[in-house]
């Protein structure tokens, strides 16, 4: 099969499409023929070596987490899927390898694609939507009527998080650049703040949850924007003081200081995927696709993702 391989860390050009062996399945795994994958910032952070402390430096290395395709084979202990099923899901961090024609994945990490959602749209959902869902529901314990701010509301994670928050009955404020204000409004945000004109952290408004989908803020920088029991959730602690806050803030609750700080590290989870599939089926969650690239255009796809100007998701057409 064809797969994208890197043999060293570096710029987009280090990625090459090579012929490799099709993976074998274990008892609890399914073999997927991948129709589409997608690009997430974590992909190029692995490629350029920024996350080598997590991935190690053993080459050749495969990239990509999101898969959308069909089941072509399954292990004897698999009970939830059949050959021919349309599925979507996320490979785990140790495995990776979604930039390929085939991949194996445990049945606990995938879900059926709902009717009305095609492979292309489904491929843009797993990692990004799971990040938003797990941040708001699992970390933030989001409740109906809460006031939530999503920073980076026009990106892959942010655009899905805005919709997930709205579907949960929250009042949502999105933060984005001038060019994306109307786009974020179209996602259902009740209010949009243009960060080029206003800094939400100095405005008087208070939020039950501030979800920093792009990891640009810090807990100490936005704590005044939180309600008394509010929480800050980030995808990337970007300062030593912020990392420290994840350990110190819970202790502060003992002294009557109840604001919280969380870091979300997304994990593949079939139950969460099924919840997202239901939202998509009900028309409450849609994947906005910015650009589509072929597998042999993966370098161009990464280069575009690294500009930081992506509106929604970048998907990779693998088959079909």
Alpha carbon distance 256, 220 (integer Å)? 17
The answer to whether position 281 is within a domain reads no
Q: Residues 157, 66: contact at Cβ < 8 Å?
A: no
Expressed as residue numbers, the domain containing 154 is 128-263
Assess whether pLDDT exceeds 50 at residue 31.
Answer: yes
Do residues 145 and 177 both lie within one domain? yes
Q: What percentage of residues in the chain have a pLDDT greater than 70?
A: 93
User: What percent of the chain has a predicted confidence (pLDDT) above 90?
Assistant: 85
For residue 277, tell me if it sits in a domain. Answer: no
CATH number of the domain bearing residue 251 = 3.40.50.720
Give the C-alpha separation, 162 to 138, whole Å.
16
Asked if residue 93 has pLDDT above 60, the reply is yes
Does residue 225 share a domain with residue 104?
no
- d(C-alpha 217, C-alpha 211), whole Å: 10
**Residue 160, CA distances (Å) to 16, 213, 248, 270 in order:** 30, 10, 30, 18
Domain count, the chain: 2
Q: Are 49 and 118 in the same domain?
A: yes
Please check whether residues 6 and 105 belong to one and the same domain.
Answer: yes
pLDDT at 213 over 90: yes
Please check the confidence at residue 179 and state whether its pLDDT lies above 90. Answer: yes
What DSSP assignment string belongs to 205-232?
Answer: --EEEEEETT----HHHHGGGEEEEEEE
Banded model confidence at residue 255, pLDDT cuts 50, 70, 90:
very low
| pLDDT of res. 254 | 43
pLDDT of residue 253: 46
Where is average pLDDT lowest: 12-16, 186-190, 250-254, 316-320?
250-254
**pLDDT above 90 (res 245):** no
The reply to whether 142 and 225 lie within a common domain is: yes
Report the range of poorest mean pLDDT among 1-5, 83-87, 176-180, 220-224: 220-224
Query: Is there a domain that residue 275 lies in?
Result: no
Residues 157 and 113 in one domain: no
pLDDT, position 133: 98
Say what the pTM is.
0.93
Structure tokens belonging to residue 133: 């869902």
Q: Are residues 289 and 120 in contact, defined by beta-carbon separation less than 8 angstroms?
A: yes
Q: Is 81's pLDDT higher than 80?
A: yes
The CATH number given to whatever domain includes residue 17 is: 3.90.180.10
Residue 280 inside a domain? The answer is no
Q: Are residues 119 and 132 in the same domain?
A: no
- CB contact burial 3-30 (16+ within 10 A = b; e otherwise): bbbbeebeebebbebeebebbebeeebb
Residues 6 and 98 grouped into a single domain: yes
């Amino acid at each position: 099969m064809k797969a994208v391989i890197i043999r060293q860390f570096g710029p987009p050009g280090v990625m090459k499409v090579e012929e490799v062996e099709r993976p074998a399945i274990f008892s609890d795994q399914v073999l997927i023929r991948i129709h589409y994958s997608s690009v997430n910032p974590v992909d190029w952070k692995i490629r350029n070596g920024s996350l080598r402390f997590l991935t190690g430096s053993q080459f050749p290395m495969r990239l990509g987490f999101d898969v959308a395709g069909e089941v072509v084979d399954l292990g004897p202990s698999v009970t939830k899927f059949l050959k021919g099923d349309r599925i979507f899901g996320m490979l785990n961090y140790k495995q990776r390898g979604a930039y390929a024609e085939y991949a194996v994945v445990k049945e606990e990490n995938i879900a059926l694609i709902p009717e009305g959602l095609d492979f292309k749209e489904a491929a843009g959902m797993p990692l990004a939507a799971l990040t938003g869902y797990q941040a708001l529901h699992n970390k933030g314990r989001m409740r109906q009527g809460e006031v939530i701010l999503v920073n980076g509301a026009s990106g892959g994670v942010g655009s899905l998080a805005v919709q997930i928050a709205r579907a949960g009955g929250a009042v949502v404020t999105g933060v984005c650049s001038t060019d994306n204000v109307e786009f974020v409004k179209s996602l259902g945000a009740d209010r949009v703040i243009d960060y080029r004109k206003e800094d939400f952290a100095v405005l008087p408004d208070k939020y039950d949850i501030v979800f920093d989908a792009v990891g640009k803020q810090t807990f100490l920088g936005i704590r005044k924007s939180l309600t008394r029991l509010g929480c800050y959730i980030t995808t990337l602690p970007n300062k030593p003081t912020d990392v420290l806050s994840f350990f110190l803030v819970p202790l502060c609750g003992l002294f009557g200081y109840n604001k919280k700080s969380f870091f979300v590290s997304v994990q593949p989870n079939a139950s969460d995927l099924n919840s997202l599939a239901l939202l998509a089926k009900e028309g409450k969650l849609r994947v906005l696709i910015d650009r589509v690239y072929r597998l042999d255009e993966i370098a161009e796809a990464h280069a575009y993702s690294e500009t930081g100007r992506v509106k929604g998701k970048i998907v990779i057409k693998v088959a079909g």
